[in-house]
Chains A and B, each alone.
Chain A
Amino acid sequence: MDKKLEPVVKNIQEKFGATYEEFRDEVHLFLKPEQIVEALTILRDEFNFELLSALTATDYWPQETPRFHVIYQLTSLEKNLSVQIRVPVNGDSPKVPTATGVYAVANWRERELLDMFGIEIEGHPDPRRILMPEDHVGHPLRKDFPLGYEEPQFTFNFDEIDLRKPYAKE
Protein backbone atom coordinates (compact mmCIF):
# COMPACT_ATOMS: atom_id res chain seq x y z
CA MET A 1 0.00 0.00 0.00
CA ASP A 2 1.10 3.52 -0.77
CA LYS A 3 2.42 5.32 2.33
CA LYS A 4 0.16 8.30 1.63
CA LEU A 5 -2.92 6.07 1.54
CA GLU A 6 -2.38 4.55 5.01
CA PRO A 7 -3.99 7.38 7.03
CA VAL A 8 -7.01 7.33 4.71
CA VAL A 9 -7.56 3.60 5.12
CA LYS A 10 -6.97 3.81 8.88
CA ASN A 11 -9.45 6.63 9.28
CA ILE A 12 -12.20 4.88 7.32
CA GLN A 13 -11.52 1.64 9.17
CA GLU A 14 -11.86 3.28 12.56
CA LYS A 15 -14.95 5.29 11.68
CA PHE A 16 -16.95 2.64 9.89
CA GLY A 17 -15.36 -0.63 10.96
CA ALA A 18 -14.48 -1.32 7.35
CA THR A 19 -12.35 -4.22 6.22
CA TYR A 20 -9.93 -3.93 3.35
CA GLU A 21 -8.26 -6.09 0.74
CA GLU A 22 -5.16 -5.42 -1.26
CA PHE A 23 -4.18 -6.71 -4.68
CA ARG A 24 -1.35 -5.35 -6.88
CA ASP A 25 -1.07 -2.19 -4.78
CA GLU A 26 -4.78 -1.45 -5.12
CA VAL A 27 -6.83 -1.05 -1.97
CA HIS A 28 -10.45 -2.15 -1.78
CA LEU A 29 -12.39 -0.95 1.25
CA PHE A 30 -15.59 -2.78 2.14
CA LEU A 31 -18.46 -0.73 3.54
CA LYS A 32 -22.15 -1.19 4.29
CA PRO A 33 -24.76 0.48 2.04
CA GLU A 34 -25.97 2.86 4.74
CA GLN A 35 -22.41 4.13 5.37
CA ILE A 36 -21.50 4.93 1.79
CA VAL A 37 -22.74 8.53 1.51
CA GLU A 38 -21.03 9.59 4.72
CA ALA A 39 -17.81 7.81 3.76
CA LEU A 40 -17.75 9.42 0.31
CA THR A 41 -18.32 12.84 1.88
CA ILE A 42 -15.42 12.33 4.28
CA LEU A 43 -13.14 11.09 1.51
CA ARG A 44 -14.01 14.05 -0.69
CA ASP A 45 -13.80 16.79 1.94
CA GLU A 46 -11.05 15.58 4.27
CA PHE A 47 -8.85 13.53 1.98
CA ASN A 48 -9.20 15.39 -1.34
CA PHE A 49 -10.71 12.59 -3.40
CA GLU A 50 -12.24 15.06 -5.84
CA LEU A 51 -12.98 12.67 -8.66
CA LEU A 52 -15.35 9.71 -8.73
CA SER A 53 -13.62 7.88 -11.56
CA ALA A 54 -15.95 4.95 -11.91
CA LEU A 55 -19.15 3.68 -10.37
CA THR A 56 -20.21 0.21 -11.33
CA ALA A 57 -21.09 -3.20 -9.96
CA THR A 58 -20.19 -6.85 -10.27
CA ASP A 59 -22.70 -9.69 -10.20
CA TYR A 60 -21.61 -12.85 -8.34
CA TRP A 61 -24.69 -14.88 -9.26
CA PRO A 62 -25.59 -17.69 -8.32
CA GLN A 63 -24.19 -16.56 -4.98
CA GLU A 64 -26.99 -14.63 -3.25
CA THR A 65 -25.50 -13.11 -0.10
CA PRO A 66 -23.97 -10.85 -1.17
CA ARG A 67 -24.91 -11.09 -4.80
CA PHE A 68 -23.59 -7.72 -5.97
CA HIS A 69 -20.66 -5.53 -5.17
CA VAL A 70 -21.34 -1.89 -5.96
CA ILE A 71 -17.98 -0.33 -6.73
CA TYR A 72 -16.85 3.27 -6.28
CA GLN A 73 -13.44 4.10 -7.73
CA LEU A 74 -12.11 7.35 -6.27
CA THR A 75 -9.17 9.44 -7.41
CA SER A 76 -7.38 12.22 -5.60
CA LEU A 77 -5.81 14.65 -8.04
CA GLU A 78 -4.00 16.60 -5.37
CA LYS A 79 -2.27 13.63 -3.75
CA ASN A 80 -2.29 11.36 -6.81
CA LEU A 81 -3.99 8.48 -5.00
CA SER A 82 -6.69 5.97 -5.82
CA VAL A 83 -8.93 3.95 -3.58
CA GLN A 84 -11.79 1.62 -4.35
CA ILE A 85 -14.86 1.22 -2.17
CA ARG A 86 -16.97 -1.88 -2.47
CA VAL A 87 -20.46 -2.20 -1.08
CA PRO A 88 -21.79 -5.77 -0.93
CA VAL A 89 -25.52 -5.90 -1.62
CA ASN A 90 -27.82 -8.91 -1.33
CA GLY A 91 -29.71 -10.41 -4.24
CA ASP A 92 -33.26 -9.86 -2.93
CA SER A 93 -34.29 -6.26 -3.63
CA PRO A 94 -30.77 -4.82 -3.95
CA LYS A 95 -30.52 -1.13 -3.13
CA VAL A 96 -27.96 1.51 -2.30
CA PRO A 97 -28.46 5.17 -1.39
CA THR A 98 -27.64 7.69 -4.08
CA ALA A 99 -24.26 9.42 -4.15
CA THR A 100 -25.51 12.23 -6.40
CA GLY A 101 -25.29 14.70 -3.53
CA VAL A 102 -21.57 14.07 -3.14
CA TYR A 103 -20.50 13.61 -6.76
CA ALA A 104 -22.77 14.87 -9.54
CA VAL A 105 -21.24 12.33 -11.93
CA ALA A 106 -23.01 9.62 -9.93
CA ASN A 107 -26.30 10.68 -11.53
CA TRP A 108 -25.72 9.02 -14.89
CA ARG A 109 -23.56 6.22 -13.50
CA GLU A 110 -26.30 5.24 -11.05
CA ARG A 111 -28.88 5.29 -13.80
CA GLU A 112 -26.60 2.83 -15.57
CA LEU A 113 -26.54 0.63 -12.44
CA LEU A 114 -30.32 0.70 -12.32
CA ASP A 115 -30.55 -0.10 -16.00
CA MET A 116 -27.88 -2.78 -16.24
CA PHE A 117 -28.12 -4.50 -12.84
CA GLY A 118 -31.53 -3.53 -11.50
CA ILE A 119 -30.01 -2.16 -8.34
CA GLU A 120 -32.42 0.31 -6.85
CA ILE A 121 -30.96 3.73 -6.08
CA GLU A 122 -32.68 5.32 -3.09
CA GLY A 123 -33.32 9.03 -3.50
CA HIS A 124 -32.11 9.31 -7.09
CA PRO A 125 -33.38 12.52 -8.73
CA ASP A 126 -34.00 10.96 -12.14
CA PRO A 127 -34.46 7.18 -11.95
CA ARG A 128 -34.96 6.28 -15.62
CA ARG A 129 -33.18 3.73 -17.78
CA ILE A 130 -30.20 5.26 -19.55
CA LEU A 131 -28.89 2.88 -22.22
CA MET A 132 -31.64 0.35 -22.85
CA PRO A 133 -35.06 1.32 -24.26
CA GLU A 134 -37.59 2.38 -21.67
CA ASP A 135 -39.86 -0.63 -22.24
CA HIS A 136 -37.04 -3.16 -22.01
CA VAL A 137 -37.60 -6.07 -19.64
CA GLY A 138 -34.69 -7.36 -17.56
CA HIS A 139 -31.25 -6.12 -16.65
CA PRO A 140 -28.61 -7.09 -19.23
CA LEU A 141 -25.46 -7.20 -17.13
CA ARG A 142 -26.93 -9.57 -14.57
CA LYS A 143 -25.35 -12.98 -14.90
CA ASP A 144 -28.75 -14.72 -15.24
CA PHE A 145 -29.62 -12.58 -18.26
CA PRO A 146 -28.90 -14.66 -21.39
CA LEU A 147 -26.40 -13.30 -23.87
CA GLY A 148 -28.51 -14.24 -26.89
CA TYR A 149 -27.30 -15.48 -30.24
CA GLU A 150 -28.57 -15.25 -33.77
CA GLU A 151 -28.97 -18.51 -35.67
CA PRO A 152 -26.77 -18.56 -38.77
CA GLN A 153 -28.83 -18.92 -41.94
CA PHE A 154 -27.58 -21.09 -44.81
CA THR A 155 -29.23 -21.76 -48.17
CA PHE A 156 -30.70 -25.07 -47.06
CA ASN A 157 -32.37 -23.71 -43.91
CA PHE A 158 -32.81 -20.04 -44.77
CA ASP A 159 -36.59 -20.03 -45.08
CA GLU A 160 -37.10 -22.26 -42.06
CA ILE A 161 -35.13 -19.94 -39.74
CA ASP A 162 -36.52 -16.84 -41.42
CA LEU A 163 -40.03 -17.82 -40.34
CA ARG A 164 -39.25 -17.75 -36.63
CA LYS A 165 -36.74 -14.89 -36.74
CA PRO A 166 -37.89 -11.82 -34.81
CA TYR A 167 -37.94 -8.84 -37.17
CA ALA A 168 -38.92 -5.32 -36.31
CA LYS A 169 -42.62 -5.04 -37.01
CA GLU A 170 -43.69 -2.60 -39.68
Chain B
Amino acid sequence: MSQIEEVSIEKFKHLVSARALTGETMLLNMGPQHPSTHGVLRLLLELDGEIVVNCIPDIGYLHTGIEKNMEAKTYQKAEVMTDRLDYMNTMGNNLAYVMAVEKLVDLDVPVRAQGLRVILTELQRIASHLVWLGTSGLDLAAMSMFLYCFREREQILDIFELVSGQRMMTTYFRPGGVWRDVPVEFEKAVRDFIKIFPKRIDEYESLLTKNPLFIDRMVDIGYLSKEVALQYGVTGPMLRASGVDWDLRKVRPYCGYEQYDFNVPTRTEGDTYARYLVRIDELRESLKIVEQALNKLPLGPVRSENRKFVPPPRSEIGVSMEALIHHFKLWTEGFPAPKASIYSAVESPRGELGLMLEGDGGPKPLRVHLRTPSFDNLSVLSQIVKGHLVADLVAILASIDIVLGDIDR
Protein backbone atom coordinates (compact mmCIF):
# COMPACT_ATOMS: atom_id res chain seq x y z
CA MET B 1 0.00 0.00 0.00
CA SER B 2 1.60 3.24 -1.08
CA GLN B 3 1.27 6.40 0.95
CA ILE B 4 -1.75 8.53 0.15
CA GLU B 5 -0.43 11.98 -0.45
CA GLU B 6 -2.03 14.73 1.56
CA VAL B 7 -2.99 17.59 -0.75
CA SER B 8 -2.09 20.91 0.74
CA ILE B 9 -4.11 24.04 0.21
CA GLU B 10 -0.96 25.77 -1.06
CA LYS B 11 -1.48 24.15 -4.46
CA PHE B 12 -4.90 25.70 -4.96
CA LYS B 13 -4.23 28.98 -3.22
CA HIS B 14 -4.59 31.08 -6.34
CA LEU B 15 -7.86 29.42 -7.32
CA VAL B 16 -9.92 29.70 -4.16
CA SER B 17 -11.06 32.74 -2.22
CA ALA B 18 -9.21 34.05 0.83
CA ARG B 19 -11.96 32.68 3.06
CA ALA B 20 -10.97 29.13 2.20
CA LEU B 21 -7.54 29.68 3.71
CA THR B 22 -8.96 30.65 7.08
CA GLY B 23 -11.29 27.66 7.04
CA GLU B 24 -14.44 29.78 6.77
CA THR B 25 -15.53 28.01 3.59
CA MET B 26 -15.20 24.32 2.91
CA LEU B 27 -13.39 22.58 0.06
CA LEU B 28 -15.29 19.56 -1.17
CA ASN B 29 -14.37 17.04 -3.80
CA MET B 30 -17.14 16.00 -6.24
CA GLY B 31 -16.39 13.13 -8.56
CA PRO B 32 -14.73 11.65 -10.53
CA GLN B 33 -17.06 8.76 -9.71
CA HIS B 34 -20.19 10.79 -9.25
CA PRO B 35 -23.28 9.85 -11.29
CA SER B 36 -24.24 13.42 -12.16
CA THR B 37 -20.84 14.39 -13.54
CA HIS B 38 -21.66 12.42 -16.71
CA GLY B 39 -18.47 10.44 -16.84
CA VAL B 40 -15.18 10.94 -15.08
CA LEU B 41 -15.12 14.62 -14.30
CA ARG B 42 -13.81 15.82 -10.97
CA LEU B 43 -14.95 19.11 -9.52
CA LEU B 44 -13.28 20.79 -6.60
CA LEU B 45 -15.92 22.92 -4.90
CA GLU B 46 -15.46 25.70 -2.45
CA LEU B 47 -18.67 25.84 -0.46
CA ASP B 48 -20.18 28.34 1.89
CA GLY B 49 -22.84 26.13 3.40
CA GLU B 50 -24.78 24.91 0.35
CA ILE B 51 -23.66 27.76 -1.88
CA VAL B 52 -20.89 27.33 -4.41
CA VAL B 53 -18.24 30.02 -4.04
CA ASN B 54 -15.75 28.55 -6.50
CA CYS B 55 -15.73 25.55 -8.77
CA ILE B 56 -12.50 24.15 -10.17
CA PRO B 57 -13.04 21.45 -12.79
CA ASP B 58 -10.32 18.83 -13.03
CA ILE B 59 -10.28 16.97 -16.33
CA GLY B 60 -8.03 14.42 -18.00
CA TYR B 61 -9.26 11.19 -16.42
CA LEU B 62 -10.33 9.95 -19.84
CA HIS B 63 -7.31 11.23 -21.74
CA THR B 64 -6.35 8.56 -24.26
CA GLY B 65 -3.94 10.44 -26.51
CA ILE B 66 -6.14 10.28 -29.60
CA GLU B 67 -4.32 13.16 -31.29
CA LYS B 68 -0.95 11.47 -30.80
CA ASN B 69 -2.27 8.13 -31.96
CA MET B 70 -3.70 9.62 -35.13
CA GLU B 71 -0.26 10.96 -36.06
CA ALA B 72 1.04 7.40 -36.19
CA LYS B 73 -1.66 6.10 -38.55
CA THR B 74 -2.36 6.62 -42.23
CA TYR B 75 -5.27 8.87 -43.17
CA GLN B 76 -7.68 5.96 -43.67
CA LYS B 77 -6.73 4.21 -40.46
CA ALA B 78 -6.79 7.32 -38.30
CA GLU B 79 -10.53 7.62 -38.87
CA VAL B 80 -11.46 4.89 -36.38
CA MET B 81 -9.92 6.99 -33.64
CA THR B 82 -12.49 9.74 -34.22
CA ASP B 83 -15.35 7.42 -33.21
CA ARG B 84 -13.83 7.02 -29.79
CA LEU B 85 -13.63 10.75 -29.29
CA ASP B 86 -17.19 11.88 -28.62
CA TYR B 87 -19.01 8.58 -28.30
CA MET B 88 -22.44 10.22 -28.48
CA ASN B 89 -21.68 11.74 -31.86
CA THR B 90 -19.75 9.13 -33.82
CA MET B 91 -21.22 9.98 -37.22
CA GLY B 92 -20.56 13.68 -36.64
CA ASN B 93 -16.93 13.01 -35.72
CA ASN B 94 -16.47 10.86 -38.79
CA LEU B 95 -17.96 13.64 -40.88
CA ALA B 96 -15.62 16.25 -39.42
CA TYR B 97 -12.63 14.04 -40.10
CA VAL B 98 -13.50 12.95 -43.64
CA MET B 99 -14.37 16.52 -44.58
CA ALA B 100 -10.99 17.68 -43.32
CA VAL B 101 -9.20 14.97 -45.33
CA GLU B 102 -11.26 15.78 -48.41
CA LYS B 103 -10.38 19.44 -48.07
CA LEU B 104 -6.69 18.69 -47.59
CA VAL B 105 -6.34 16.45 -50.65
CA ASP B 106 -9.12 18.15 -52.68
CA LEU B 107 -11.39 15.17 -53.17
CA ASP B 108 -14.91 15.21 -54.62
CA VAL B 109 -17.91 13.55 -52.95
CA PRO B 110 -20.92 12.21 -54.92
CA VAL B 111 -24.32 13.80 -54.27
CA ARG B 112 -25.87 10.61 -52.89
CA ALA B 113 -23.09 10.26 -50.33
CA GLN B 114 -23.65 13.88 -49.27
CA GLY B 115 -27.35 13.17 -48.76
CA LEU B 116 -26.64 10.04 -46.73
CA ARG B 117 -24.16 11.95 -44.61
CA VAL B 118 -26.77 14.58 -43.82
CA ILE B 119 -29.44 12.01 -42.92
CA LEU B 120 -27.15 10.04 -40.65
CA THR B 121 -25.52 12.99 -38.88
CA GLU B 122 -28.93 14.50 -38.19
CA LEU B 123 -30.16 11.19 -36.80
CA GLN B 124 -27.03 11.16 -34.68
CA ARG B 125 -27.80 14.65 -33.46
CA ILE B 126 -31.25 13.45 -32.40
CA ALA B 127 -29.74 10.41 -30.65
CA SER B 128 -27.22 12.61 -28.85
CA HIS B 129 -29.87 15.08 -27.72
CA LEU B 130 -31.98 12.15 -26.51
CA VAL B 131 -29.16 10.97 -24.28
CA TRP B 132 -28.79 14.50 -23.00
CA LEU B 133 -32.54 14.79 -22.37
CA GLY B 134 -32.71 11.44 -20.64
CA THR B 135 -29.70 11.97 -18.40
CA SER B 136 -30.55 15.56 -17.49
CA GLY B 137 -34.05 14.39 -16.64
CA LEU B 138 -32.47 11.75 -14.44
CA ASP B 139 -30.34 14.39 -12.72
CA LEU B 140 -33.45 16.38 -11.90
CA ALA B 141 -35.31 13.30 -10.67
CA ALA B 142 -37.49 12.80 -13.76
CA MET B 143 -36.67 9.12 -13.86
CA SER B 144 -39.07 8.00 -16.59
CA MET B 145 -37.57 10.42 -19.18
CA PHE B 146 -34.47 8.30 -19.35
CA LEU B 147 -36.42 5.19 -20.32
CA TYR B 148 -38.51 6.97 -22.96
CA CYS B 149 -35.49 8.65 -24.52
CA PHE B 150 -33.49 5.46 -24.72
CA ARG B 151 -36.43 3.72 -26.39
CA GLU B 152 -36.21 6.17 -29.33
CA ARG B 153 -32.42 6.22 -29.32
CA GLU B 154 -32.48 2.47 -29.73
CA GLN B 155 -34.42 2.91 -32.97
CA ILE B 156 -31.72 5.24 -34.31
CA LEU B 157 -28.94 2.90 -33.26
CA ASP B 158 -30.74 0.13 -35.14
CA ILE B 159 -30.60 2.27 -38.28
CA PHE B 160 -26.86 2.73 -37.72
CA GLU B 161 -26.46 -0.99 -37.35
CA LEU B 162 -28.36 -1.47 -40.58
CA VAL B 163 -26.05 0.78 -42.59
CA SER B 164 -22.67 0.22 -40.95
CA GLY B 165 -22.95 -3.02 -38.98
CA GLN B 166 -22.16 -1.15 -35.79
CA ARG B 167 -24.38 0.60 -33.31
CA MET B 168 -21.90 3.12 -31.97
CA MET B 169 -18.41 2.90 -33.46
CA THR B 170 -19.68 3.28 -37.00
CA THR B 171 -16.79 4.61 -39.14
CA TYR B 172 -19.36 4.69 -41.91
CA PHE B 173 -18.21 7.84 -43.69
CA ARG B 174 -14.97 7.46 -45.60
CA PRO B 175 -12.84 10.01 -47.44
CA GLY B 176 -14.60 10.41 -50.80
CA GLY B 177 -18.01 9.13 -49.77
CA VAL B 178 -19.41 6.46 -47.49
CA TRP B 179 -18.36 2.87 -46.83
CA ARG B 180 -21.04 1.27 -49.03
CA ASP B 181 -24.55 2.01 -50.17
CA VAL B 182 -27.38 1.64 -47.70
CA PRO B 183 -29.52 -1.52 -47.79
CA VAL B 184 -33.08 -1.40 -49.18
CA GLU B 185 -34.59 -1.54 -45.68
CA PHE B 186 -32.94 1.78 -44.83
CA GLU B 187 -35.64 4.03 -46.28
CA LYS B 188 -38.46 2.27 -44.46
CA ALA B 189 -36.58 2.31 -41.16
CA VAL B 190 -35.98 6.05 -41.40
CA ARG B 191 -39.57 6.74 -42.53
CA ASP B 192 -40.90 4.76 -39.57
CA PHE B 193 -38.79 6.90 -37.28
CA ILE B 194 -39.94 10.14 -38.94
CA LYS B 195 -43.55 9.05 -38.52
CA ILE B 196 -43.29 8.12 -34.88
CA PHE B 197 -40.91 10.75 -33.52
CA PRO B 198 -42.93 14.05 -33.60
CA LYS B 199 -45.52 12.49 -31.29
CA ARG B 200 -42.74 11.35 -28.99
CA ILE B 201 -41.27 14.87 -28.75
CA ASP B 202 -44.73 16.11 -27.72
CA GLU B 203 -44.77 13.37 -25.12
CA TYR B 204 -41.43 14.50 -23.67
CA GLU B 205 -42.60 18.08 -23.62
CA SER B 206 -45.84 17.20 -21.87
CA LEU B 207 -43.75 15.56 -19.17
CA LEU B 208 -41.20 18.32 -18.70
CA THR B 209 -41.71 21.68 -20.40
CA LYS B 210 -44.55 22.94 -18.18
CA ASN B 211 -43.76 20.79 -15.17
CA PRO B 212 -43.57 23.22 -12.22
CA LEU B 213 -40.89 21.20 -10.44
CA PHE B 214 -38.78 21.16 -13.56
CA ILE B 215 -39.24 24.89 -14.19
CA ASP B 216 -38.35 25.62 -10.58
CA ARG B 217 -35.05 23.84 -10.98
CA MET B 218 -34.19 25.36 -14.38
CA VAL B 219 -35.43 28.94 -14.79
CA ASP B 220 -32.85 31.63 -13.89
CA ILE B 221 -30.29 28.98 -13.02
CA GLY B 222 -26.83 29.21 -14.55
CA TYR B 223 -27.29 32.43 -16.49
CA LEU B 224 -24.71 32.81 -19.24
CA SER B 225 -24.52 36.15 -21.03
CA LYS B 226 -23.66 36.49 -24.69
CA GLU B 227 -20.39 38.30 -23.96
CA VAL B 228 -19.13 35.74 -21.47
CA ALA B 229 -20.13 32.92 -23.79
CA LEU B 230 -18.04 34.36 -26.63
CA GLN B 231 -15.11 35.10 -24.33
CA TYR B 232 -15.06 31.45 -23.26
CA GLY B 233 -15.43 30.12 -26.79
CA VAL B 234 -18.82 28.55 -26.07
CA THR B 235 -20.55 27.24 -29.20
CA GLY B 236 -23.56 25.17 -30.18
CA PRO B 237 -26.94 25.08 -28.40
CA MET B 238 -25.40 26.75 -25.37
CA LEU B 239 -24.39 29.81 -27.39
CA ARG B 240 -27.73 29.88 -29.20
CA ALA B 241 -29.57 29.83 -25.86
CA SER B 242 -27.65 33.01 -24.99
CA GLY B 243 -29.01 34.81 -28.03
CA VAL B 244 -26.33 34.35 -30.67
CA ASP B 245 -27.64 33.03 -33.95
CA TRP B 246 -24.63 30.98 -35.01
CA ASP B 247 -24.97 27.57 -36.58
CA LEU B 248 -22.28 26.35 -38.96
CA ARG B 249 -24.89 24.40 -40.95
CA LYS B 250 -26.54 27.71 -41.76
CA VAL B 251 -23.66 30.19 -42.00
CA ARG B 252 -21.07 27.96 -43.67
CA PRO B 253 -23.11 25.20 -45.28
CA TYR B 254 -21.39 21.90 -45.98
CA CYS B 255 -22.69 18.60 -47.43
CA GLY B 256 -25.47 20.51 -49.16
CA TYR B 257 -27.16 21.87 -46.04
CA GLU B 258 -28.03 25.00 -48.03
CA GLN B 259 -30.76 23.12 -49.95
CA TYR B 260 -32.72 22.15 -46.85
CA ASP B 261 -35.27 24.35 -45.20
CA PHE B 262 -34.73 24.52 -41.44
CA ASN B 263 -34.64 27.07 -38.66
CA VAL B 264 -31.93 27.70 -36.11
CA PRO B 265 -33.66 27.84 -32.72
CA THR B 266 -32.35 30.64 -30.53
CA ARG B 267 -33.31 32.00 -27.12
CA THR B 268 -32.23 35.12 -25.32
CA GLU B 269 -32.71 34.07 -21.68
CA GLY B 270 -29.36 32.27 -21.44
CA ASP B 271 -30.36 30.10 -18.49
CA THR B 272 -30.62 26.36 -18.07
CA TYR B 273 -34.24 26.33 -19.18
CA ALA B 274 -33.40 28.21 -22.39
CA ARG B 275 -30.76 25.59 -23.20
CA TYR B 276 -33.37 22.91 -22.66
CA LEU B 277 -35.85 24.62 -25.00
CA VAL B 278 -33.23 25.16 -27.72
CA ARG B 279 -32.30 21.49 -27.74
CA ILE B 280 -35.95 20.37 -27.79
CA ASP B 281 -36.54 22.63 -30.81
CA GLU B 282 -33.42 21.25 -32.45
CA LEU B 283 -34.91 17.77 -32.25
CA ARG B 284 -37.79 18.97 -34.45
CA GLU B 285 -35.53 20.84 -36.87
CA SER B 286 -33.20 17.86 -37.26
CA LEU B 287 -36.17 15.66 -38.06
CA LYS B 288 -37.25 18.16 -40.72
CA ILE B 289 -33.80 17.95 -42.32
CA VAL B 290 -33.83 14.15 -42.23
CA GLU B 291 -37.19 14.05 -44.00
CA GLN B 292 -36.16 16.53 -46.70
CA ALA B 293 -32.83 14.83 -47.28
CA LEU B 294 -34.53 11.45 -47.59
CA ASN B 295 -37.05 12.82 -50.10
CA LYS B 296 -34.28 14.41 -52.16
CA LEU B 297 -31.83 11.51 -51.93
CA PRO B 298 -30.74 10.77 -55.53
CA LEU B 299 -29.58 7.45 -56.89
CA GLY B 300 -25.99 7.08 -58.00
CA PRO B 301 -22.52 6.25 -56.76
CA VAL B 302 -21.70 6.65 -53.07
CA ARG B 303 -17.92 6.88 -53.40
CA SER B 304 -15.70 9.11 -55.47
CA GLU B 305 -14.17 7.70 -58.66
CA ASN B 306 -10.79 9.22 -57.85
CA ARG B 307 -8.74 6.03 -57.54
CA LYS B 308 -5.73 7.82 -56.05
CA PHE B 309 -7.65 8.17 -52.80
CA VAL B 310 -10.60 5.81 -52.91
CA PRO B 311 -10.08 2.06 -53.26
CA PRO B 312 -11.78 0.37 -56.26
CA PRO B 313 -14.80 -1.90 -55.73
CA ARG B 314 -14.13 -5.59 -55.19
CA SER B 315 -15.62 -6.52 -58.58
CA GLU B 316 -13.00 -4.48 -60.46
CA ILE B 317 -9.99 -6.00 -58.75
CA GLY B 318 -10.41 -9.37 -60.46
CA VAL B 319 -10.50 -7.93 -63.97
CA SER B 320 -8.46 -4.74 -63.96
CA MET B 321 -4.70 -4.50 -63.41
CA GLU B 322 -4.92 -0.78 -62.52
CA ALA B 323 -7.59 -1.50 -59.91
CA LEU B 324 -5.39 -4.13 -58.31
CA ILE B 325 -2.41 -1.76 -58.22
CA HIS B 326 -4.49 1.04 -56.72
CA HIS B 327 -5.92 -1.29 -54.13
CA PHE B 328 -2.47 -2.56 -53.20
CA LYS B 329 -0.97 0.92 -53.01
CA LEU B 330 -3.82 2.31 -50.93
CA TRP B 331 -3.81 -0.46 -48.36
CA THR B 332 -0.05 -0.84 -48.03
CA GLU B 333 1.04 2.80 -48.24
CA GLY B 334 -2.02 4.98 -48.01
CA PHE B 335 -2.39 8.16 -50.01
CA PRO B 336 -0.10 11.16 -49.68
CA ALA B 337 -1.45 14.56 -48.65
CA PRO B 338 0.18 17.91 -49.42
CA LYS B 339 2.51 19.65 -47.00
CA ALA B 340 -0.07 22.10 -45.78
CA SER B 341 -2.52 22.75 -43.01
CA ILE B 342 -6.28 23.19 -43.11
CA TYR B 343 -8.98 23.83 -40.53
CA SER B 344 -12.45 22.52 -41.16
CA ALA B 345 -15.39 22.64 -38.79
CA VAL B 346 -18.82 21.06 -38.55
CA GLU B 347 -21.70 21.67 -36.19
CA SER B 348 -21.76 18.82 -33.72
CA PRO B 349 -24.66 18.42 -31.24
CA ARG B 350 -22.48 20.25 -28.74
CA GLY B 351 -21.04 23.00 -30.91
CA GLU B 352 -18.23 23.68 -33.33
CA LEU B 353 -16.25 20.51 -33.86
CA GLY B 354 -13.13 21.70 -35.65
CA LEU B 355 -10.32 19.69 -37.07
CA MET B 356 -6.92 21.12 -37.80
CA LEU B 357 -5.18 18.70 -40.09
CA GLU B 358 -1.61 19.19 -41.20
CA GLY B 359 0.01 16.96 -43.79
CA ASP B 360 3.75 16.50 -44.31
CA GLY B 361 3.66 15.20 -47.88
CA GLY B 362 3.48 11.58 -46.73
CA PRO B 363 0.62 9.18 -45.99
CA LYS B 364 0.41 10.08 -42.29
CA PRO B 365 -0.74 13.38 -40.81
CA LEU B 366 1.92 15.55 -39.18
CA ARG B 367 -0.55 16.98 -36.71
CA VAL B 368 -4.23 16.44 -35.99
CA HIS B 369 -5.83 18.83 -33.59
CA LEU B 370 -9.41 18.30 -32.53
CA ARG B 371 -11.13 21.44 -31.41
CA THR B 372 -13.80 19.74 -29.37
CA PRO B 373 -16.80 21.80 -28.27
CA SER B 374 -17.25 20.24 -24.81
CA PHE B 375 -13.77 21.36 -23.76
CA ASP B 376 -14.53 25.04 -24.20
CA ASN B 377 -18.13 24.70 -23.06
CA LEU B 378 -16.98 23.19 -19.78
CA SER B 379 -14.39 25.90 -19.17
CA VAL B 380 -17.22 28.39 -18.65
CA LEU B 381 -18.74 26.28 -15.84
CA SER B 382 -16.69 27.90 -13.11
CA GLN B 383 -18.09 31.28 -14.17
CA ILE B 384 -21.79 30.47 -14.34
CA VAL B 385 -22.04 28.29 -11.27
CA LYS B 386 -20.97 30.90 -8.72
CA GLY B 387 -23.60 31.70 -6.13
CA HIS B 388 -25.82 28.72 -6.91
CA LEU B 389 -26.64 25.75 -4.73
CA VAL B 390 -24.82 22.44 -5.12
CA ALA B 391 -28.06 20.91 -6.42
CA ASP B 392 -28.18 23.60 -9.13
CA LEU B 393 -24.65 22.74 -10.14
CA VAL B 394 -25.98 19.37 -11.21
CA ALA B 395 -28.67 21.01 -13.34
CA ILE B 396 -26.15 23.38 -14.91
CA LEU B 397 -23.70 20.61 -15.65
CA ALA B 398 -26.48 18.63 -17.32
CA SER B 399 -27.47 21.64 -19.43
CA ILE B 400 -23.91 22.05 -20.73
CA ASP B 401 -24.21 18.53 -22.18
CA ILE B 402 -20.61 17.46 -21.72
CA VAL B 403 -19.14 14.24 -23.01
CA LEU B 404 -15.88 13.46 -21.26
CA GLY B 405 -14.50 11.57 -24.24
CA ASP B 406 -14.89 14.79 -26.16
CA ILE B 407 -13.13 16.88 -23.52
CA ASP B 408 -10.16 14.70 -22.70
CA ARG B 409 -9.51 13.22 -26.15
For the complex, would chain A's binding face be called helix, strand, loop or mixed by DSSP majority?
loop
Q: How distant is the Cα of A161 from the Cα of B232 in the complex, in angstroms?
A: 47
Inter-subunit contact B342/A131 (CB<8 Å): no
* Known contacts A56-B356, A141-B67, A105 near B1 by CB under 8 Å: no
Contacts A/B (CB < 8 Å), 20 sampled: A23-B342, A26-B342, A26-B343, A53-B345, A54-B356, A54-B371, A56-B369, A58-B367, A60-B366, A71-B356, A73-B343, A80-B251, A104-B231, A104-B232, A105-B233, A105-B379, A108-B375, A131-B60, A132-B63, A170-B1
Nearest CB in chain A: distance from B403 CB, A: 15
Of the residues B2, B68, B228, B358, contact of A141 by C-beta under 8 Å: B68
Nearest 8 interchain pairs by C-beta: A105-B233, A131-B60, A54-B371, A104-B231, A56-B369, A58-B367, A131-B63, A108-B379
Name the CB-closest residue of A to B67.
A141
Inter-subunit contact B408/A131 (CB<8 Å): yes
- Interface size bucket, B side? 35 or more
Inter-subunit contact A82/B343 (CB<8 Å): yes
* Known contacts A103-B231, A108-B379, A54 near B343 by CB under 8 Å: yes
Inter-subunit contact B354/A54 (CB<8 Å): yes
B318 in the interface (beta carbon within 8 A) = no
B59 in the interface (beta carbon within 8 A) = yes
Interface of B toward A, CB cutoff 8 Å: 1-2, 14-15, 59-60, 63, 65, 67-69, 72, 103-104, 106, 228, 230-233, 235, 244, 246, 251-252, 340-343, 345, 352, 354, 356, 358, 366-367, 369, 371, 375-376, 379, 408-409
Nearest CB in chain A: distance from B46 CB, A: 15
A98 in the interface (beta carbon within 8 A) = no
* Known contacts A54-B369, A107-B379, A130 near B60 by CB under 8 Å: yes
Q: How distant is the Cα of A141 from the Cα of B103 in the complex, in angstroms?
A: 24
* Known contacts A24-B342, A104-B231, A108-B379, A140 near B60 by CB under 8 Å: no
Inter-subunit contact B67/A23 (CB<8 Å): no
Encode contact with B along A13-31: 1 for CB under 8 Å, 0 otherwise.
0000000000110101000
Residues of B within 8 A of A59 (CB): 367
Q: How distant is the Cα of A13 from the Cα of B2 in the complex, in angstroms?
A: 58
Q: How distant is the Cα of A141 from the Cα of B365 in the complex, in angstroms?
A: 13
Could you list 13 further interchain pairs (A-B, Cβ under 8 angstroms) beyond the known A24-B106, A71-B356, A77-B230?
A24-B104, A51-B233, A53-B371, A54-B354, A56-B369, A71-B369, A104-B228, A105-B232, A108-B379, A131-B409, A132-B60, A147-B72, A170-B1
